[in-house]
Chain A
Amino acid sequence: MVMKRVKESIIVVLSWLCSLLLAGSVATIIGYLLFKGLATINLALIFGDTAPLEAIFLGRQVFNGLLPAMVGTLALVLLALIFAIPLGVAAGIYMAEYGKGRLKGWFSLFFDILASIPSIVVGLFGFSVAVFLHHNLSERIYPCLLIAALSLAFLVLPYIIRTTQVALESIPVTIRQTAPALGATKLQNISHVLLPHALSAMMSGIVLAMGRCAEDTAVIMLTGVVASAGMPRSIFAGFEALPFYIYYISAQYSDSRELASGYGAAIILLIICIMLFGLAFYIKARFELTFTARSGDKRRISQRIMKAPDRRKKSLKVNFQTEQSGQGTLL
């Protein structure tokens, strides 16, 4: 009895310590970054010696600032997600709702393999595709923003597929059967009930994918990132990206000021990630609002209905009487 209690308290203390250790590490990393990089964060770090407005409206190129890398990373993440989300969600819906038997098993195996491919191999594959296209399709195709984004999309697809699948599969039967019992087709059930219900859980996969796209260096190193490309001119051009800048500067810095700008870049990357997460949760909240009540139009529908004249007065009268008699005797 006593042993059992001791065991239980040991487990509690251990799990508490582990959580503390993790939270502490995160705080240490962020604190260290801020300590090292905060001083370097100013307009010059981002815009170099170009005037901020001119740089933003593309009047003059920024050469010794981070702006091109920030824009490059944002474009890369958005482009990769534009490819990955529809594909991943569709595949996840297939796995959860339509896939059956052996074929589903095979698909599942392949998605697991896809999830375990190291990012450098995905990058190598993207690079090979670029080289292949260069030789066989057009001499003008080089590793570029588009190919980097496609490779990244490929890298993060398994997260989105799996979270969509698990989110849909874990919806309880009572909710799953609600719409079909009311005459919904399978597709209607998926689009009107199951997907909105799974949205929260699916979002965690999308946020994970987003973070991965923002931080991955191995893939883009082989598929189009360059140290100084300036602002991305098109999706068929090379581009700069923050993680690559951090890698590049920490490997080849010439003085401590340059190294400090690497820490500054890391802080900016963190901020961009936080902003992207915020955007994701904002979109999710907007999306959920369309399925539940909007707080703004409280009473609007009530007023509309009560003002509307009764169409078939006779039948309503009968119904109304039954309602009154029912309530009268019971409540």
Chain B
Amino acid sequence: MKTKIRLSDISFSYGNKLIFKQINAEFAEHCITAIVGPSGQGKSTLLTIINRLWEDIPATNLHGKIEVWLNGTNGTPQDIYDSAYPADSLRRKVGMLFQTPNPLPMSIYRNVAFPLKLAGIKDRELVDHKVKTALRQAFLWKEVKDRLDDNALILSGGQQQRLCIARALIMEPEVLLLDEPTSSLDSRACKVIEELLLTLQQQCTIVMVSHYLDQVKRVADTTWQLEDGRLTRI
């Protein structure tokens, strides 16, 4: 199977505390990779070093190399910490979903179209089309198609999380990082998201942090355990 992401000798420290010690790992393309382990071991941090979101946190330090095989680069991996490679282009290709759904205080439509606005895409017809497609991919279209102008914050938790998935999908990312995406949802909403992840696998590579071992069993192709700063495949 083709490798999508490779972590080589990753060490990460927060203040004086060493969180990762020389991590090496490879995540395969179009697979769901789960990362499990006790709380407080830095599972979420591991996700943020793949999209460089940790960089704004003070007193952090990273050593090592992360490469992502992006589409259309003829098989040469992109070193994502290359100083010439801007973080915002990386984050358009590597989407992220957080533990609690975080829609912005604007309409459903504007939320989903937000990444396009950031990327400077203004063609209304194209935006409409992409919003519609993304909402369908996130299994949300049917529930919101008649009220795209409503404030996104009135949606239920599960709907909000699917809205966030739609928002992440609209840029057609190649990698999706999920930080315990179902931990704030009830079991039914949770199952919808799990089902959704299995279909998304066809279009992106998914790296997911999860607490629930049964969930990992249901959806993950490979599982890694993070403990004491080391990542081991199980």
A residues with CB within 8 A of B? 174-175, 177-185, 188, 192-193, 196-197, 291-294, 297-302, 304-306, 308, 310-312, 315-316, 319-320, 322-323, 326-327, 329-331
Looking at the assembled complex, report how far the CB atom of A292 sits from the nearest CB atom of chain B, in whole angstroms. 5
User: Which one of B106, B145, B146, B192 contacts A293 once the chains associate, using CB atoms below 8 Å?
Assistant: B106
12 CB < 8 A contacts A-B: A175-B104, A179-B104, A179-B114, A180-B91, A182-B171, A197-B105, A292-B151, A302-B147, A305-B131, A305-B132, A308-B129, A310-B129
Looking at the assembled complex, report how far the CB atom of B1 sits from the nearest CB atom of chain A, in whole angstroms. 23
Which residue on A lies nearest to B91, using beta carbons? Answer: A183
Binds A, one of B21-29, B68-76, B134-142, B221-229: B134-142
* Given A181-B91, A181-B96, A182-B167; A299-B104 close (CB under 8 Å): no
* Given A299-B147, A329-B195; A319-B107 close (CB under 8 Å): no
User: Which one of A185, A196, A310, A326 contacts B196 once the chains associate, using CB atoms below 8 Å?
Assistant: A326
Count of chain A to chain B residue pairs whose CB atoms are closer than 8 Å in the complex = 126
* Given A193-B104, A299-B146, A308-B128; A319-B137 close (CB under 8 Å): yes
Binds A, one of B35-43, B117-125, B205-213: B117-125
B residues with CB within 8 A of A? 51, 53, 56, 87-89, 91-92, 95-96, 98, 100, 102, 104-107, 109-110, 114-115, 117-119, 125, 128-129, 131-133, 136-137, 139, 141-142, 145-151, 167-168, 171, 188, 191-192, 195-196, 199
Looking at the assembled complex, report how far the CB atom of B154 sits from the nearest CB atom of chain A, in whole angstroms. 10
Q: Is A331 touching B104 in the complex (CB atoms < 8 A)?
A: no
* Prevailing SS type, chain B contact patch: helix
Bound-state CA distance A310–B136 (Å) is: 13
Which residues of chain B come closer than 8 Å to A297, judged between CB atoms? 149
- By Cβ-Cβ distance, the 3 closest A-B pairs, closest first, are A293-B107, A183-B92, A181-B96
Bound-state CA distance A50–B220 (Å) is: 84
User: Which one of B89, B100, B139, B148 contacts A327 once the chains associate, using CB atoms below 8 Å?
Assistant: B139
Bound-state CA distance A260–B96 (Å) is: 67
Q: A302-B147, A323-B141, A327-B142 are in contact. List 12 more A-B contacts (CB 8 A).
A: A175-B102, A181-B91, A182-B95, A292-B107, A294-B149, A301-B107, A305-B109, A305-B128, A312-B129, A316-B133, A327-B139, A330-B191
Which residues of chain B come closer than 8 Å to A304, judged between CB atoms? 128
User: Which one of B96, B125, B136 contacts A316 once the chains associate, using CB atoms below 8 Å?
Assistant: B136
Bound-state CA distance A92–B193 (Å) is: 41
Bound-state CA distance A310–B141 (Å) is: 14
Q: Is B192 touching A178 in the complex (CB atoms < 8 A)?
A: no
Q: Is B53 touching A181 in the complex (CB atoms < 8 A)?
A: yes
User: Which one of B87, B132, B149, B196 contacts A298 once the chains associate, using CB atoms below 8 Å?
Assistant: B149
Looking at the assembled complex, report how far the CB atom of A38 sits from the nearest CB atom of chain B, in whole angstroms. 43
Which residues of chain A come closer than 8 Å to B53, judged between CB atoms? 177, 180-181
User: Which one of B114, B146, B188 contacts A182 once the chains associate, using CB atoms below 8 Å?
Assistant: B114
Q: Is B149 touching A301 in the complex (CB atoms < 8 A)?
A: yes
Q: Is B133 touching A181 in the complex (CB atoms < 8 A)?
A: no
User: Which one of A183, A302, A310, A320 contacts B145 once the chains associate, using CB atoms below 8 Å?
Assistant: A302
Bound-state CA distance A163–B118 (Å) is: 27
Looking at the assembled complex, report how far the CB atom of B89 sits from the nearest CB atom of chain A, in whole angstroms. 7
